Amino acid sequence: MPDIHIERQHSLGLPAARKLAFQWAEAAEQKLDMECTYEEGKAADVVTFTRPGCKGELQVTKNSFVLDAQLGMLLGLFRERIESEIVKNLDLLLAQKDPHSAFKQGLADHEAGREPGSPKKAAKKAPARKKA
C-alpha cells in the first residue's frame, strides 16, 4: 500500500491533462531531483518517478489524476506535510481557468518565496518629486 494516495477528478480532457502532467514531470526532474519516465497510452498515461527516499507513479486520464507514492524512512517522517502540500497545490491548480499558466506561475511564486496563489506584492514607487 502506498504511503501517499491522492485522487483528483478534473474536466481537462486527456490532451490538456497530459500536458499538465508532462509539465509536472519536467519540474520534478529540475526542482526535486526526480528521475521521471513518461509513458503515453491511448486512454491513460503513467508518469513513473523516483529519487532516493521516494518512488511512485502518477496516472493521468481524461478525467482524473491518481498519485501513488512510497516514501523511505526519512521522508516518511514528513508524510503528512508532503501529502498536504501536494493536495493543496493540486486543488489550487485544478481550480484555475488555465491550469497550465497557473502551474508556471506557481513555480515562479515558489522560486520567489511566495505562497502559491498569494497575490504578488506591488513594487514600491519612488515618491514624486517637485520640479524646481
Cell of 6: 491522492
* Distance separating alpha carbons of residues 132 and 126, to the nearest angstrom: 18
| Residue 83 confidence class, pLDDT cut points 50, 70, 90 | very high
pLDDT tens for each residue of 22-78:
999 999 999 999 999 999 999 999 999 999 999 999 999 999 999 999 999 999 999
Which comes out higher in pLDDT, residue 114 or 58? 58
Domains of the chain by residue range? 4-107
| Contact between 72 and 52 (Cβ < 8 Å) | yes
pLDDT value of position 122: 46
Query: What CATH number is given for 4-107 in this structure?
Result: 3.30.160
> Which of 21, 65, 2, 26 lies closest to 36 in space, CA to CA?
26
Is the full-model pTM beyond 0.85?
no
CA gap 129, 50 in Å, rounded: 57
| pLDDT at position 112 | 84
